[in-house]
Amino acid sequence: MNSFQTLSEGSVTSPAGFTAVAVAAGIKKENQLDLALVVSQTDCRCAAMFTKNQVVAAPVIVDRETLAANNSRLRAVVINSKNANACTGETGLANARATQQAAAEALGCTANQILVLSTGVIGVQLPMEKLAAGIAVGAKGLSADNGRLAAEAIMTTDTRPKRLAVQVELPGGTVTIGGMAKGAGMIHPNMATMLAVLTTDAAIAPDILDGLLKTAVNLSFNRISIDGDTSTNDTIFLLANGASGTAVADPDSLAQFGEALNHLCTALAHMIVRDGEGATKFVEIQVTGAHSEADAHQIANTIAISPLVKTAFAGSDANWGRLLMAAGRAGVVFDQSQINLWIGAQQADELQLVANGTPTAYQEKDAAAVFARPEFKILLDVGSGGEGTAVVWTTDLSHDYVSINADYRT
């Protein structure tokens, strides 16, 4: 039985001591929400993970510098959408730092207590007058009731906000973990997602917080793929302000908190995949029988990002040859004569398509019916005799994905 309770209406402000605000600062058109602040009433310890893309946005550079100097006294995160502040040179860096300063002045703290996130179009300078004015207005409207609106303000091509919270019963008391994420395209498991902010009122040391975040990300955001591209801005923060007065330090508390954090991150990651640009299918791919978990993950991920596989998903075409083709080019050695492949709507092993590398006597209509469902599972055992297993979640590749990204800047 889980030691945590999911709060379906929860958000990044569900933990004690956190507030937020969403503002229409004029970065987007038609008075849409485009700026969010997430603020803690007290100092936070912070862990973070960033994109592994070599081309990184100004906020990533500035946040790395900020956390290198201060990871235990953070107070706020400022997030803008529509503009990535990426590939913007020294001006972009100056604007990211100016955003920190503007927030610090509005909130009554110092610039190195502010983290900044941006998402949107690459290669365009931030409209700093609008941003600064939005921060000043937003700082006056902070509330614990604004978590839902904050999740809306950070959306770009997302069609719906992604937010959740969980309460955890620990030996020392109850703590809450909240979070919000955005991402619908340019999603690939090379760090996390495009943007995510997680909060908790637990008291946790920075080094422990870092380990918990890495584990959670590797089990969730690093197991999703929509289009195989990794953003210049990918960032995830985990902020802990200790407002509950409950510490996470002993083994039991660490295990229970970690389980809840993993659940929260996995749920947010699933929301991202389900909202993938143009996506009509949510597909779970499980690989077993590999020599190691890393091998299994590499095979599963190669299948998940294959354009031929993803277009087969879109067309409800149970073309399992594409699945094996992708597995075979993953760079992992296995014996194709030992491969077993199943698909299913509820259970991954409902219908076996391949046994020991050879097609079974399945009915094509049955396989097509599975692929026609909005959600289904695939299980591939590569027959190497190992205990390596991994699961990833992906989408189909539809006409709408092309349309959305062809018109992205217009």
What the block records as the tokens of 62 is 């500035």
Burial category of 22 from C-beta neighbours within 10 Å (exposed 0-12, middle 13-18, buried 19 and up): buried
Burial 320-340 (b: 16+ CB within 10 A, else e): bebbbebbeebebebeeeebb
3-class SS at 243? Answer: coil
Q: Where are the beta strands (DSSP E) in 305-409?
A: 340-344, 351-355, 358-359, 375-381, 388-395
Those residues with Cβ within 8 angstroms of residue 358's Cβ, 6 or more apart along the chain or in another chain? none
Return the closest-CA partner of residue 190 out of 222, 236, 233.
Answer: 222
Distance (Å, whole) CA 118 – CA 354:
46
> Bridge-partner residues for 182, per DSSP?
195
Residues 51, 57, 61: CA angle, nearest 5 degrees: 80
Burial 67-90 (b: 16+ CB within 10 A, else e): beeebeebbbbbbbbbbbbbebee
Q: Which amino acid is at 104?
A: A
Q: Which residues are catalytic?
A: 193
